[in-house]
């Protein structure tokens, strides 16, 4: 993987994409980045800081969507420069690719949009790395076409795929770990999203639920199967997070979890 500022990349270890769901404010972003960087430096885990500058996919009309696109993107850029970290954020429409690209190192395609050809092409044309989340309605083998769309526009693009579970009924998800090796067969690194895969979407209350107590289970299994990276949303106090608090990992539990996962990785390499 060739992402600027991605340090300590080692085939014997996984990389981590982590941060809060949304950029809520500058102080919180810096607090989370500093804490995660300290932990990942300790364990030699390459780290990409994650934060969404806007939440376009929300259940209710009055749900929090962001603090403003450019202010949030400027915070992401500042975090990346201050801590010398690569950063990743979601884009939702084709014209957002060029807007977001100057601020981050990786453009992420949300799961619901992984088939949007124009969006994938726009991300590829920026020259940034592209992380495509597997749709909840997609199989691992079918994601090869999404990779193909990016590489058609930019044959040198760095692409990786992220699994975040598959729809299981109307309000739950289930992880099919066959998707990890099946997506690796496309010749790209594969990430397991350990928090969104535990969402309970489309609840009648209008607020997405989750099962954060199973984050460790999802993460351990993914590493054991051979995932190249993990995606974990984390927050000092998920109960007051403005987005996806129901399935985020409390920040103070991250170190113990990563310590276990490093041992799992060492056991299988």
Average pLDDT, stretch 169-181? 91
Residue-averaged pLDDT of the chain: 91
265 found inside a domain: no
pLDDT at residue 203, rounded to an integer: 55
The residue segments making up the domain with residue 87 are 18-258
pLDDT at residue 201, rounded to an integer: 67
Q: Does the pLDDT of residue 39 top 80, yes or no? A: yes
Average pLDDT, stretch 52-64? 74
pLDDT class of 115 with cuts at 50, 70, 90: very high
pTM: 0.93
Ranking 3-17, 102-116, 123-137 by mean pLDDT, the lowest is 3-17
**Distances 173 to 61, 78, 129 between C-alpha atoms, Å:** 23, 35, 27
5 found inside a domain: no
13 found inside a domain: no
pLDDT at residue 202, rounded to an integer: 57
Domain total in the chain: 1
Segment 180-200, tens digit of pLDDT = 999 999 999 999 999 988 877
Identify the CATH number of the domain in which residue 159 sits.
3.20.20.70
pLDDT at residue 88, rounded to an integer: 97
């Amino acid at each position: 993987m060739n992402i600027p500022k991605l340090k300590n990349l080692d085939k014997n270890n996984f990389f981590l994409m982590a941060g809060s769901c949304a950029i809520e404010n500058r102080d919180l972003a810096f607090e989370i980045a500093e804490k995660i960087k300290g932990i990942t430096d300790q364990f030699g885990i390459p780290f990409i800081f994650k934060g969404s500058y806007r939440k376009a996919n929300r259940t209710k009309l009055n749900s929090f969507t962001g603090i403003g696109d450019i202010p949030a993107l400027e915070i992401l850029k500042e975090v990346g420069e201050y801590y010398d970290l690569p950063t990743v954020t979601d884009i939702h429409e084709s014209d957002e690719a060029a807007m977001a690209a100057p601020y981050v190192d990786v453009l992420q395609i949300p799961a619901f949009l992984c088939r949007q050809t124009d969006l994938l092409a726009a991300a590829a044309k920026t020259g940034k790395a592209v992380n495509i989340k597997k749709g909840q309605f997609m199989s691992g083998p079918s994601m090869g076409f999404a990779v193909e769309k990016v590489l058609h526009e930019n044959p040198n693009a760095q692409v990786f795929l992220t699994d975040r579970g598959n729809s299981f009924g109307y309000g739950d998800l289930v992880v099919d770990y066959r998707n990890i090796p099946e997506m690796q067969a496309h010749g790209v690194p594969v990430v397991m999203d350990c928090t969104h895969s535990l969402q309970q979407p489309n609840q009648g209350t209008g607020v997405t639920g989750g099962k954060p107590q199973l984050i460790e289970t999802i993460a351990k299994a993914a590493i054991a199967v051979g995932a190249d990276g993990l995606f974990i949303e984390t927050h000092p106090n998920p109960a007051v997070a403005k987005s996806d608090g129901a399935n985020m990992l409390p920040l103070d539990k991250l170190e113990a979890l990563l310590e276990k996962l490093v041992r799992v990785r060492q056991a299988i390499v």
